[in-house]
Chains A and B, each alone.
Chain A
Amino acid sequence: MRLNNERVMNLKTRFPLLISNQNLVYLDNASTTQKPQEVIDIIKKYYERFNANVNRGVYNLSQESTILFEKSRKITAKFINAKPEETIFTKGTTESLNFLSYTIDSIIEKGKDEIIISPLEHHSNLIPWQQLAKRNNMKLLYMPLKKDLTLDLKEAKKLFSEKTALVSISHISNTLGTIQPIEKIIKFAKKVGAYTIIDAAQSAPRKKIDVKKLDCDFLAFSGHKMMGPTGIGVLYGKEELLKKLRPFQFGGGMIDSVELKNSTWTTLPEKFEAGTPDIAGAIGLAKAVSFIQDIEVENIVEWEEKLTEMAIREMKKIPHVIIYGKNNIGIISFNVDGVHPHDVASIMNDNDIAIRGGHHCAIPLMKEMEVSGTCRISFYLYNTLFDVRKFIETLKEVVQIFKNGN
C-alpha cells in the first residue's frame, strides 16, 4: 500500500496513544516508536490466555506458549531473511552488541587484534568494542569521516588488514540519518577475513534487510523502534558461527547436560537464551513485523523520504538553521545557531511537538562536529504532512524568540 497523507491519517487511528493525544506531534521515532492496537492487544491476549513457560512443560498450555513463541521467531527471522536458528531474542540492540562483545573472542583467530568502527556510532556500538579492546589488549580503529560527515571510504579501506578481527557499523546513523555504505564495508572485511557486525537499530524499521544478500556475519536490532514492545530485540548470526560461539549467559533452558563440574550446551538458538525469555515481547514483536509487512517496508521508506525532503526544503529557508549530514533518511539533525538544543526542544514541547535535543548517545560524533549537541527530528509511518508544517512553524517561532530580540 503506497502511503499518502490520507492513508497515513487512517493508519494513525490504529495507534491508541496518538488518538488520545490528538495534539501531539511525535517526532522522536529514532528513540522509540508508538505501538499499534494490534501489538498491545496480542500482548494482553497472551497473558490472559496462553501464559506458561516455554520449552519446559509437557502440559498443553506450555506447548501452546512454545508454539506461539517459536512462530514469532519464524516471522521475525523471515523479516530479515534468516533461519529461525540464527535468530536469537535479546533485550534489544544494546544487549545484542554487548553479548557479541563478550563472546566473539571465542571465535577470533590468533594474531587478529584490531577492531574497526566509525565515529558515527551510537554509544551502544562503540563502548562495547572500546571495552573489549581494553580487556583483550586489542586496538580500536575508527574509519574517518569526510567534511560532510559521511564515511571516507578511500581512507577506511586502508585500515583493513590481516590483523582486522571485526568491523561493527550502523546501517543508518541514529544521529544524522545517514545511510552508511555497509555493502562496501562488508566487502573490505571479507577480503581480510574479518567478522562483520551490523547495527540495524535504525534500518530495520525503515529499510528492507536481507542478511543473506548483505552476507554480514551478525546483525542486531530492537523491537521498540519498529512498533514492537520495549525489552525485546534480535541478534542474528550465521549458523556456522553461532555454533562455535561461546554462550553469553548460563542458566535454565540453554543446557544439554549438567554435571557438578562440567556442562554442555543445547542447540541453536536456545544455547543463547538462558532463563525464561520475553515470550510476550517476542509475540508482540512478531505482530509489529506483520504490521510492517502489510504496509511493505518500501512504502515506509518512500513516505519518510517525502517527509524528510519537505522538512529539509522548508528548514533551509529559515535563517540561522543549520542542518547536519547528508543522505538522510527519516532522521534530521539540526541546530539553531547559538541556541542550545534543549531550549529548542522546550519550545517545541510547548507546542506539543516531541523532538530530541542533546548528544543522542553519540558524544564522539558531537566532538567531531564541534557541537555539544543537536536537535533531532525523526519520522515514522504515522507522521503526516501537517506534523512537518507544525514543526516548521514552531521552528520559525524559536528563531523569532532567540534571534529577533524580545
Chain B
Amino acid sequence: MGIEKEKIAEEVKMYREMYKEHILDLYKNPSNYGELADFTHHFRSYNSLCGDDFKIWVDVKDNKIKDVSFTGSGCAISTAASSMVSDKIIGMNIWDVSRMNQEDVLELLHIPVSSGRMKCAVLFLKSVQENVLKDDN
C-alpha cells in the first residue's frame, strides 16, 4: 500500500507538469487539424465514456499512409495524442501502423497516463487501425 501511494503521488506531480507543457500546446493548436481533399478512408472516432468525438481522414496509397487529418473535439490527452500519432504515421507502411500499440502512444506523449484515461490516449490509433486495416487486408 505504501509504495502504491508514493507511486500515485509521483504520478500526480508529473501530471501537473504535463498540462503546462507540450500537451497543452497541442491541445490548443493540434497538428494535422482539418479535412483532407483527397482521401481513401473517412470515419468517426468516438469515446462514449467522455465524449471525445473526432472525424478522421486518411489517404492510403501503395499500402503507405500518405496523409492523415482530423477534426472534432476531445480532452487534452486525446487531442494531443491524435496530433502526435497522426504526425508519426504519415509516411509509414500500414502494416507497421498495425503493429503500434499503447506503449508507442505513451512514448510519444511522454507523460504517465492513469488507467482511467488510457482510452483517451489510444483512441486515435485504435480507430485508424480498426478502420484502415480492416479494408486493406
Contacts and interface: CB of A to CB of B under 8 A. Distances in A.
Say whether A and B bind each other: yes
A255 interface: no
Interface in B48-80: 48-53, 73-77
A343 B120 CA distance: 11
Interface stretch (B17-25, B35-43, B87-95, B127-135): B17-25
Interface string B8-29: 0000100110011100110000
Contacts of B21: 406
A240 interface: no
Contacts of A347: 16, 19
A350 B15 CA distance: 8
B51 A366 contact: yes
Contact of B50 (A341, A350, A401, A402): A341
B82 to A, nearest CB: 13
A340 B76 contact: yes
A349 interface: yes
Interface in A315-356: 340-343, 346-347, 349-350
A358 interface: yes
Nearest to B53: A372
A340 B24 contact: no
Contact of B24 (A358, A359, A406): A406
Given A347-B19, A349-B12, A350-B16, A340 B50 contact: yes
A401 B51 CA distance: 22
B50 A373 contact: yes
Contact of B73 (A350, A363, A372): A372
B120 to A, nearest CB: 7
A357 interface: yes
A401 B19 contact: yes
Give the interface size class of chain B: 20 to 34
A329 to B, nearest CB: 26
A359 B52 CA distance: 11
A8 B4 CA distance: 31
A372 to B, nearest CB: 3
B136 to A, nearest CB: 31
Contact of A401 (B20, B25, B48, B120): B20
Contacts of B77: 342-343
Contacts of B50: 340-342, 357-359, 372-373
A343 B51 contact: no
Contacts of B19: 343, 346-347, 401-402
A145 B117 CA distance: 33
Given A340-B74, A340-B76, A373 B24 contact: no
A347 B51 CA distance: 18
A289 to B, nearest CB: 33
A340 B120 CA distance: 12
B75 A343 contact: yes
A343 B74 CA distance: 10
B51 A373 contact: yes
Contact of A358 (B20, B25, B51, B53): B51
Contacts of B120: 342
Contacts of A363: 48
Contacts of B49: 358
Contacts of A359: 50-51
Which of the listed residues B21, B50, B52 has the most CB atoms from chain A within 10 Å of its own CB?
B50
Q: Which of B20, B75, B117 has the most CB of A within 10 A?
A: B75
Nearest to B14: A350
A357 B50 CA distance: 8
B52 to A, nearest CB: 8
Nearest to A358: B50
B66 to A, nearest CB: 30
A368 B126 CA distance: 29
A73 to B, nearest CB: 37
A308 B76 CA distance: 29
For A358, A363, A406, the residue with the greatest tally of chain B CB atoms inside 10 Å of its CB is: A406
B12 A350 contact: yes
5 contacts: A341-B50, A346-B19, A350-B15, A359-B50, A406-B24
Given A359-B50, A373-B51, 8 more contacts: A340-B50, A341-B51, A342-B75, A342-B117, A343-B77, A350-B15, A357-B50, A372-B51
The 8 A-B residue pairs with the shortest CB-CB distance in the complex, in nearest-first order: A372-B51, A340-B75, A342-B75, A373-B51, A343-B76, A342-B50, A343-B75, A350-B12
